[in-house]
Amino acid sequence: MRTSTKITAAVGGAALTVATAGAAYAYWTTSGSGTGSATSGTSTAVTVAQVGSVTGLVPGGPAGAVNFSITNPASFNQYITGVVVAITGVTSSGTIDAAHPACTASDYTLVQPTATYGDLTPGLHSYSPSGSTLALLNTAANQDNCKNNTVSLSITAS
């Protein structure tokens, strides 16, 4: 009997180990599917502003710097491919007559800004110096009608 009790105990212990091991590794397999969505944002217009002013232009004199800043109001980076400065008008403060040709945008030379493209982080970015300049040309004509004029500029970032 002694032998059979040891065998019974050994067989019972082995069976319990197998049952416990089987329970530890038992699992169900399943599968499923679902749907979801995501939306993308959109760009936000930047603000461009001239920094300082160009004053004292005289025929053939030194060019004045056209500096500006760009503010990215978004909370994310936005890419600017370039900035273009244009003369949009010349407002004459004097009388234009036949002896004095009208002062026009063609009396000025405008150099475009350099290195104004890139990834703009949120906030203010100053382009001073911007590389852009404005000068009053020295023509063969009387340029009295270019005295005391206001040259309107547009500065466009895209």
For residues 54 and 128, is the Cβ–Cβ distance under 8 A?
A: no
Q: What is the pLDDT of residues 12-21, one digit of tens each?
A: 555 555 555 5
Sign of CA dihedral 98, 103, 104, 110: positive
pTM above 0.75, yes or no: no
Question: Nearest CA to 51 among 113, 108, 94?
Answer: 113
Number of neighbouring beta carbons within 10 Å of residue 29: 4
Q: What is the DSSP letter of 90?
A: E
Q: What is the pLDDT of residue 5?
A: 60
Position 109 pLDDT exceeds 80: yes
In three-state secondary structure terms, 125 is strand
**How far apart are the C-alpha atoms of 64 and 101, rounded to whole Å?**
23
CA 11 distance to own-chain centroid:
77
The more confidently predicted of residues 116 and 139 is 139
Beta-strand pair 78-80/108-111: unpaired
